[in-house]
């Protein structure tokens, strides 16, 4: 019996070791295979083998390497790198309206946000690579026969617009990726937007639930659907965003990173609260930064189109498609598939104060005071409320 037990234990140990080696090999060479597994096993294996989260972001920020960025950008290109849930889609659409000065055909040219304002670090296919996607942006023909490039690299545009959520390179965060002060980065312009952290956390609760089931299927069930309990979801989101959480870079690393670059000549750092309080003045400020002169009539037209009412009337343009996906119809419908059910929301200021318990809000205040307050009182105030930037 002892011999039999030792034999079973040895075989089991060999099985575990073999499985661990196999999982590690898949994690290094073909981690997209984990996405065929049910959630949360898919994400446990993905993240547990050292792959970045979320799973649809290219590893190591390949498009933004200092030498690589010079291969696909042009002088004058604009990167809208707003924080997650800090008005990214809003600012992508607004900068598009600004570059066309609110022209009558600006909405027609803005067919869909993913087509018009590419997101370089976003993986559109399981197993996708930067090299394959870089080529596809120029070579893809849409189902109706239109070259995709006509929407994001149109001759009408005085500059092209790209999306990101990264902070400037040089920091100690995994999110510090944009080469703002390198040779390639200095020829670009960066629009960054921060938002009150509790409001970001509040918005993240609904945001997870707004993703389509087809998108979740593509990425191993991520992001998870909302539970039946608001309290459970609120605790999960705020824990993920606090220091030590899976997504701590979304608020704390992001804001600190851009703060240190707020006076760089190719950076415009904005606060979501200021955009909400004075949209017209913000449009004027963005246009000046982008070297676009707007007449009074054009300023009014652009401001109206950047407003919530106009964007709601055109919400079909903001559902985020995957025009580069090459996984086939079994996994993704290139013509009709979309990522988000509804991303055009009012984004009211102060929503976080109503979404969390006193204990959760206190944990957040303590983190802000520790991280932002240790830099300067001005950063702590601005991160929470916006307002004028100090010199």
Q: pLDDT (tens digit, 9 = 90+) per residue, 47-86?
A: 999 998 899 999 889 999 999 999 999 999 999 999 999 9
Residue 8 has pLDDT above 80, yes or no: no
Mean pLDDT of 104-115: 95
Residue 294 reports pLDDT greater than 70: yes
User: Which pLDDT band holds residue 226 (cuts at 50, 70, 90)?
Assistant: confident
Using pLDDT thresholds of 50, 70 and 90, give the confidence band for residue 340: confident
- Sign of the Cα torsion 182, 188, 189, 193 reads negative
- Read off the pLDDT band of 147 (50, 70, 90): very high
Angle, to 10 degrees, between the axis of helix 197-209 and the axis of helix 358-371?
120
Residue 108, classed as helix, strand or coil, is helix
Q: What are the residues facing 269 on neighbouring strands? A: 192
Alpha helix (H) residue ranges in the chain: 2-29, 41-48, 69-72, 88-99, 106-109, 113-116, 130-139, 149-152, 183-186, 197-209, 213-218, 230-241, 252-259, 272-277, 279-289, 296-305, 308-313, 351-355, 358-371, 377-385
189-194 and 161-163 beta bridge pairing: unpaired
- pTM equals 0.92
For residues 269 and 180, give the distance between their C-alpha atoms in angstroms, rounded to a whole number.
13
Please tell me the predicted confidence (pLDDT) of residue 78: 98
The residue ranking higher by pLDDT, 18 or 225, is 225
In the predicted model, is pLDDT for residue 257 greater than 80? Answer: yes
pLDDT of 13: 47
Determine the pLDDT at residue 11.
55
Rounded-to-integer distance, Cα 366 and Cα 377, Å: 14
């Amino acid at each position: 019996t002892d011999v039999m037990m030792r034999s079973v234990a040895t075989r089991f140990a060999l099985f575990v070791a073999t499985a661990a080696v196999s999982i590690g090999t898949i994690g290094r060479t073909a981690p997209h295979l984990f996405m065929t597994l049910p959630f949360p096993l898919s994400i446990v294996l993905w993240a547990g083998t050292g792959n970045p989260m979320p799973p649809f972001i290219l590893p190591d920020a390949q498009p933004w390497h200092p030498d690589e960025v010079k291969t696909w950008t042009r002088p004058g290109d604009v990167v809208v790198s707003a924080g997650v849930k800090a008005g990214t889609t809003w600012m992508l659409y607004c900068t598009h309206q600004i570059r066309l000065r609110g022209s009558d055909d600006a909405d027609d040219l803005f067919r869909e946000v993913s087509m018009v304002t590419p997101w370089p670090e976003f993986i559109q296919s399981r197993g996708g690579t930067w090299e394959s996607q870089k080529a596809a942006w120029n070579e893809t023909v849409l189902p109706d026969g239109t070259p995709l490039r006509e929407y994001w690299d149109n001759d009408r545009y005085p500059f092209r617009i790209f999306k990101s959520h990264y902070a400037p390179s040089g920091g100690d965060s995994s999110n510090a990726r944009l080469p703002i002060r390198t040779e390639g980065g200095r020829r670009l312009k960066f629009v960054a937007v921060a938002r009150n952290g509790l409001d970001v956390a509040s918005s993240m609760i609904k945001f997870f639930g707004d993703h389509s089931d087809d998108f979740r299927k593509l990425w191993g069930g991520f992001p998870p659907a909302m539970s039946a309990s608001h309290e459970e979801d609120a605790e999960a989101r705020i824990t993920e965003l606090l220091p030590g959480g899976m997504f701590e870079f979304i608020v704390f690393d992001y804001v600190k990173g851009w703060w240190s670059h707020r006076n760089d000549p190719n950076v415009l750092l904005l606060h979501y609260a200021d955009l909400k309080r004075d949209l017209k003045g913000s449009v004027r400020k963005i246009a000046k930064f982008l070297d676009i002169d707007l007449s009074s009539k054009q300023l009014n037209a652009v401001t109206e189109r950047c407003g919530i009412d106009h964007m709601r009337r055109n919400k079909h343009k903001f559902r985020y498609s995957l025009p580069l996906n090459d996984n086939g119809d079994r996994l993704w419908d290139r013509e009709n598939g979309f990522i988000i059910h509804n991303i055009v929301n009012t984004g009211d200021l102060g929503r976080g104060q109503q979404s969390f318990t006193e204990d959760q809000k206190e944990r957040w205040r303590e983190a802000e005071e520790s991280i932002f307050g240790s830099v300067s009182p001005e950063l702590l105030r601005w991160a929470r409320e916006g307002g004028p930037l100090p010199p």
